[in-house]
């Protein structure tokens, strides 16, 4: 089995075997990041363009580190740069960059579907690094890798996702992925932020944290955007924190081996208490470490010459 | 024949043999960008500093890709960075960077002549990436390369440049270059935007598109800056578009093999219609592709050790 | 003797032998910057993250050039990027980046002590690139290297620092370093900008430039932040310039071989006249050149595998 796609646009379209293949490769590549010389020549001479129309530190840096550790050259185009200001269309910007012969575009955009549109118009590979309220596939892959690291499997687990499900592309990608892999996903949050169609995706909705925490193998805490309060979707951050914020008290009846995840950046004291974020159940920094490995795997699968086989066994250069 | 200059400041000063040398080398280097491993070690250990005092995505990215594909290290200093904010003079900023021993400065500045001033005060090479309303030599070189690719020659052609000639450094560099190479340049646009001294540069002025389009081998469409309307140089964008916008209707009497060029970014529906921009005569994306090759050639000629000969035949590294 | 620290947080804590070791290594590495191929493979596969919460062109570029000339991969996170905007704590940002396995953080922050806090929470090395009004150790090291280059020693010299001592982390680091190395530091500036506790650090205060200039071997001119006037710490920039600005007239009684230094960026005509900045006594650009060498040395000492010995004798790669 292998991965033959040109693009990684979402988890929804992936087959179980493809997800497994990416996760297997991620585990191999992860080891590179623990070396003293964290670099292999695999993608030398390849060009990766980060096209970020939404601000991002961690995702862009994670992709950038992943690309450079595979020896690719990277370029960063952000939404505040000139051509966009000058009123050029997204497609013209991309076609222009494509004419410079990049191998991969890593795209973040506030419009759901933007990476899909670009993928149809370029021969280069497109990786969706987050599109509107749609998908964020590399986040779901790193979440699955992290869960598998700690639980040894992805099937038969009970994963509770807490918070603003509605606006979260992370939640959507995780629901698609975890459900596909055989886990039960339970959603918990303010009713204004969990529309009923999530049940069509195979997730279950739980109204009270106390009902779903005892069964949870994994609790995934979503970031609460503070602007939701102004949008009248929440009474107050304080009340949100009291009802849905994950604190040691809320975890009293949790399983001993429950793991706590968060895609970052955290609002400490809002959706998660510092005690939990830094506590023994937290695997939040493992997620970040796995993010680099998963992105290396995805870049590798998309940017490699299709004929060649992985060779990650030797360091970058005979120096 | 070779290229012995320290700097590339404009097309005006170049000799025909120098232009031909750059274009020949560009054609050789272009092939690298079509490889699977798009990288050669030619400028390894060389330092290229992008000093951009005007916003730019495409030109800066094109130079950056060109430099990295030759294995140079690149650094980007933009106008919003601190020292400039802190009131340091342009020359002090450059002298400071020079003390860090770069090999090439790629300079864009809103003041005509800024790169020339810098070039006089540094031992490093200076490439003018656009200065005020003066010159943009690498754009003219990529335009000439593109025209030559499609027409097989640069002499005896009829090149029509349409739009805001007055404010365009692209037009100035193209007029210098194409006239030197033996083509006839015809300018067409609102009289407020074509001052009479362009005829002294060897160009001809044409008042009505319908008079010059039938003879054109090349139509070069300039971007119309929307602020020209506020400056009372245009009645309205809509009227501009009706009179000077290049649309299929305007091309009815054009030669079958006319090529349409645009330096980008395009205002679709203003100076060029989408049908023309994406149509069979358009070579706009070829221009972008050639931009990387031309900039590789220029960087190569300026940054190489003068004693050595080009060796672009092997990939970057025996890894 | 060697350098065994994980971090470089300040000059205050360094021993004389450690300073000497860094300066010796800087002298060896300096030669790389004069080569045609300015690159060695020493830190290949190492990851250096610039974490700059204050704007900076020259310091960040200097560290970046230093890192890349040693073949490290670099990443730049600046204060305007998203996660910080999104309200994440400094420590969470750093822990997240740490999870991506960098080797060195180069940190600039407006809060004194921020790099020290970070250093306690990461296994990576931390270099203080300027923290509030506290220290800027690489600046003091490059200043000492420059003084040694010109004077052949660091002991027994008379170094006069002129200007806004109070707000200057450069002054603090220089006082610590030069005093440690056996020089006498004399401070001269408006009384509002020289608090009495500097004498506890071993420096002498001089009220009138004319009293300390004749004995000076080195005059270090500090940048005057123009906002000091609004803060009522100065009567006017013009008056400051008349009393403390270093001009040829002020140097009339100076030693023939006095050297003039400035950490940049300069306010020409305020704290230093153009004649002095560009005059025969000025070593200001030597400071910048030495900055790259000193930062290469520091990066090398912190990021190398502790077991290995320096090998800077061959160029980057056998290509």
Higher pLDDT, B222 or A56: B222
What does the pLDDT look like over B18-46, one tens digit per residue? 999 999 999 999 999 999 999 999 999 99
Name the one residue in this structure whose structure tokens are 């080398």. Answer: B25
pLDDT of residue A1: 53
Q: How far is C293 from chain B (nearest CA, A)?
A: 9
Residue B227 reports pLDDT greater than 80: no
What does the pLDDT look like over C32-87, one tens digit per residue? 999 999 999 999 999 999 999 988 889 999 999 999 999 999 999 987 544 555 66
pTM, two decimals, is: 0.93
Q: What would the mean pLDDT of C244-268 be, rounded to a whole number?
A: 97
Q: Running along chain A, 319 residues long, what does each successive block of 10 average in pLDDT?
A: 88 97 97 94 96 90 98 88 64 94 96 95 97 97 98 98 96 97 97 88 94 98 85 85 97 98 95 97 98 98 67 43
Q: Which of C44, C87, C318 sits opposite A267 (nearest CB)?
A: C87
For every residue of A168-203, DSSP letters joined together read -HHHHHHHHHHHHTTPEEEEES-GGG--GGGGGGT-
Residue C318 reports pLDDT greater than 70: no
pLDDT of residue C297: 98
Give the C-alpha separation, B314 to B319, whole Å. 12
Bridge partners, B220 (sequence order): B161, B261
Q: How far is C19 from chain A (nearest CA, A)?
A: 27
Chains in touch with A (≥3 Cβ pairs < 8 A): B, C
pLDDT of residue A251: 98
Instruction: Look at phi and psi of residue B101 and say left if phi exceeds 0, alpha if psi is from -120 to 50, else beta.
Output: left
pLDDT of residue C241: 95
Nearest to B104 by CA among B67, B79, B135, B61: B67
Instruction: Give the neighbor-by-neighbor strand order of the sheet with B204-206.
Output: B204-206, B184-188, B158-162, B218-221, B259-261
Q: Do C36 and B45 touch (CB under 8 A)?
A: yes
Which residues of C lie closer than 8 Å to B, measured between beta carbons? 33-39, 54-58, 61-62, 64-65, 68-69, 226, 264-268, 285-289, 291-292, 315-319
Show residues of chain A in contact with C86, CB under 8 Å.
265
Residue B119 reports pLDDT greater than 80: yes
pLDDT of residue A317: 46
Tell me the pairing of strands A158-162 and A184-188.
Answer: parallel
Give the C-alpha separation, C25 to C42, whole Å. 13
What does the pLDDT look like over C128-144, one tens digit per residue? 999 999 999 999 999 99
What does the pLDDT look like over B37-77, one tens digit per residue? 999 999 999 999 999 998 888 999 999 999 999 999 999 99
Give the C-alpha separation, C162 to C211, whole Å. 12
User: Residue C106, SS3?
Assistant: strand
Q: What would the mean pLDDT of C94-107 be, rounded to a whole number?
A: 96
What sign for the dihedral angle of Cα B207, B213, B217, B221?
positive
Length of chain B (residues): 319
pLDDT of residue B60: 96
Q: Tell me the CA distances in angstroms from B71 to A81, B47, B67, C207, one per residue in order.
A: 25, 10, 6, 54
Q: Do C288 and B82 touch (CB under 8 A)?
A: no
Disruptive mutation site among C49, C73, C305 for chain A (greatest number of A CBs within 10 Å): C73
Name the one residue in this structure whose structure tokens are 């006249």. Answer: C273
pLDDT of residue A230: 75
Q: What would the mean pLDDT of B223-248 be, rounded to a whole number?
A: 88
Bridge partners, C249 (sequence order): none
ipTM: 0.91
Per-residue pLDDT band at B306 (split at 50, 70, 90): low
pLDDT of residue B86: 64
Give the C-alpha separation, C291 to C26, whole Å. 9
pLDDT of residue B2: 72
Per-residue pLDDT band at B310 (split at 50, 70, 90): very low
pLDDT of residue A146: 98
Give the C-alpha separation, B245 to A37, whole Å. 56
Show residues of chain A in contact with B267, CB under 8 Å.
87
> Chains B and C: how many Cβ contacts under 8 Å?
88
pLDDT of residue B84: 54
Name the one residue in this structure whose structure tokens are 């950490």. Answer: C263
Q: How far is A317 from chain C (nearest CA, A)?
A: 8
Q: What would the mean pLDDT of C168-197 be, rounded to a whole number?
A: 95
pLDDT of residue C63: 98
């Amino acid at each position: 089995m292998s991965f033959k796609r040109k693009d990684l646009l979402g988890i929804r379209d992936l087959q179980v075997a493809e997800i497994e293949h990416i996760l297997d490769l991620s585990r191999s590549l992860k080891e590179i990041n623990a070396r003293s010389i964290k670099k292999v020549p695999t993608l030398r001479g390849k060009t990766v363009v980060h096209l970020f129309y939404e601000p991002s530190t961690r995702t862009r840096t994670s992709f950038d580190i992943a690309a450079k550790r595979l020896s690719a050259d990277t370029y960063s185009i952000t939404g505040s740069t000139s051509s966009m200001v000058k009123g050029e269309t997204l497609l013209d910007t991309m076609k222009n960059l494509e004419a410079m012969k990049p191998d991969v575009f890593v795209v973040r955009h506030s419009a759901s579907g933007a990476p899909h549109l670009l993928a149809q118009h370029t021969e280069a590979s497109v990786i969706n690094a987050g599109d509107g309220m749609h998908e964020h596939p590399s986040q779901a892959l790193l979440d699955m890798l992290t869960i598998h690291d700690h639980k040894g499997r992805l099937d038969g687990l009970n994963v509770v996702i807490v918070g603003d499900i509605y606006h979260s592309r992370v939640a959507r990608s995780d629901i698609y992925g975890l459900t596909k892999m055989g886990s039960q996903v339970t959603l918990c949050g303010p009713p204004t932020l969990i529309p009923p169609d999530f049940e069509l995706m195979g997730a279950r909705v739980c109204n009270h944290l106390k009902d779903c925490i005892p069964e949870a193998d994994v609790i995934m805490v979503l970031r609460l955007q503070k602007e939701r309060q102004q949008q009248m979707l929440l009474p107050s951050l304080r009340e949100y924190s009291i009802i849905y914020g994950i604190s040691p008290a809320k975890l009293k009846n949790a399983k001993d081996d429950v793991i706590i995840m968060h895609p970052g950046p955290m609002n400490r004291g809002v959706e998660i208490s510092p005690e939990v974020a830094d506590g023994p159940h937290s695997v939040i920094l493992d997620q970040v470490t796995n993010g680099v490995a998963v992105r290396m795997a995805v870049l590798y699968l998309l940017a490699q010459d299709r004929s060649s086989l992985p060779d990650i066994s030797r360091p970058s250069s005979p120096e």
